[in-house]
Amino acid sequence: MSVETIAETLLEKLKTIAKIETVIGEPIHSGDSTVVPVSRISVGMGMAGHTGKGDTASSGGGLRIDPVAFLVLKGDDVKVLPIEKAQTALSKIADITPDVLALLLKSISKTPP
């Protein structure tokens, strides 16, 4: 396989990975609030090849997705809750969960049986 073919295939795959839906995550709805995860994508790759008597080619790469913030939308109010480096996405979700849980309980209590 030629270096050009490997490069084309690799770039096509990267387009699929680095789409906007990966950076801006699936919205999570709770009552009148919506939480949207935001991530950063880092991609690295390398290729090498030799054309001659014995054509050779190889490639390698890596991908990293880091959650960086959550957007919290409630009516016309939008808050950005950044995730600090020392914080994990799970701990950030745990921080906002009481608010989301309160909203959920409030919306459930308003729903007629």
Q: Which of 66, 112, 62 is nearest to 87 (CA)?
A: 66
Give the chain's domain count: 1
Q: What is the pTM of this model?
A: 0.55
- The per-residue pLDDT for 85 is 67
pLDDT higher than 70, residue 24: yes
User: Six-digit token pair at 79?
Assistant: 């808050």
pLDDT on residue 99: 66
Contact of 96 with 81, CB cutoff 8 Å: yes
Q: What is the pLDDT of residue 53?
A: 78
Q: Which domain holds residue 78?
A: 3-110
Q: Give SS3 for 74.
A: strand
Whether 77 has a pLDDT exceeding 70, the answer reads yes
